[in-house]
A and B are shown apart, each in its own frame.
Chain A
Amino acid sequence: MKLRNFPGPVTPAVALVCRLTVAAVFLYAGCEKIIAPQEFATAIYNYRLLPDWAINVLAVTLPYLEVLLAVCLLVSIYVRGASFIAALLFLVFAIALTINLVRGLDISCGCFGGLTGSISWFYLVRDVALMAISVFALFFDRGWSYFFTR
């Protein structure tokens, strides 16, 4: 197996880095949330955006969705769907963060598990940046086969 098309042309290589970055972020975030589901449920509750019945549903499913997205992006299967959901998730997170930043609530971000730092505008910028690179991966990623040949 030989490496080809790397580091040039630029765009697919950048898209590869974007895809792997999003994968790493989701893998870490998902695992941290799976370890302590109760704390993550509390973090979701603190956002004051969902009714009680929806909180545990989200606290149980979201971490596994994140890990599954990470796996898809890492091994390059269903990349279109995975990067689309990733961008959508980051958009939803951005909306939730913005609402609570405007409300002025001092709550845990819950970005990487329940006990992470208080929400701030930096977290929103980071989230929007991750959304942008997910969109980039969605449009430009070419999968592993583009970079390797037998």
Chain B
Amino acid sequence: MKHIIKIKDKPHKINLNVIVKESLVILVMAVTIAVAINELRQASLPLFGFDSTKIAGIIRTNIPKITLTEAYNLYRQHKVVFVDARDPFSFEEGHIKGAINMYPDEVAFRLAQLKAMLSAESIVVTYCDGLQCPLSQETAQALQSHGVPVVKVLADGWNLWINAGYPVTKGQI
């Protein structure tokens, strides 16, 4: 026995004007309701007042910087653990040999791994790519707030390190 289902229905003619008009009405209503209820409720959010430092539990402090030469000297003496604060994809493409990858958000649950790599004499140096990159500073702040004693930032670290021809490697760690 054969069941043949014929789909006779054709799609509606889509009237763009109707879609735009209805969408606008819904959007305006949603924004109005949202703002009104947000103002009235106790657990309201300040509309333009999101503070990422507060959310991340990071207290903004100035992390001391380290120069490339100082960092390399410590590296040769095995007295530094590099923390690559860039995204994991960039890390896999290439990073300072021996570095571990840690985004600011990941500090809390990757801390044990980092501490296992630290000796009594070693310090932690964070780096990312470019002078404007905030990730090395943010990761350093997060590490400091989680009790890592000596943390420094190598500003524009990846760029400086690779241009100096110092040891790098690829892949995950």
Contacts and interface: CB of A to CB of B under 8 A. Distances in A.
A140 to B, nearest CB: 6
Interface in A28-70: 37-38, 41-42, 45-46, 52-53, 55-57, 59-61, 63-65, 68-69
Interface string B47-69: 11111100100000000000000
Contacts of B103: 105
B34, B47, B49 — most chain A CB neighbours (10 Å): B34
A12 interface: yes
A102 interface: yes
Contacts of B49: 56
Nearest to B26: A81
Contact of A60 (B25, B38, B88): B38
A78 B55 contact: no
A5 to B, nearest CB: 10
Contacts of B48: 53, 56-57
Interface string A69-88: 10010000010111011000
A41 B46 CA distance: 11
Interface string A89-118: 000000000000011111100000000000
Interface residues of B, number: 44
A9 B52 contact: no
Contacts of B55: 41-42, 45
A59 B23 contact: no
B116 interface: no
Contacts of B45: 37-38, 41, 56, 59-60
A68 B92 CA distance: 43
B7 to A, nearest CB: 5
A78 B12 contact: no
A53 B45 CA distance: 12
Contacts of A53: 48, 50
A138 interface: yes
Nearest to A141: B12
A139 B12 contact: yes
Interface stretch (B14-22, B70-78, B140-148, B162-170): B14-22
Nearest to B105: A46
A45 B49 CA distance: 13
Interface of A: 9-12, 37-38, 41-42, 45-46, 52-53, 55-57, 59-61, 63-65, 68-69, 72, 78, 80-82, 84-85, 102-107, 138-140
Given A61-B30, A78-B22, 14 more contacts: A11-B8, A37-B43, A41-B50, A42-B55, A46-B105, A53-B50, A61-B31, A64-B30, A80-B19, A81-B18, A104-B92, A107-B105, A138-B14, A140-B12
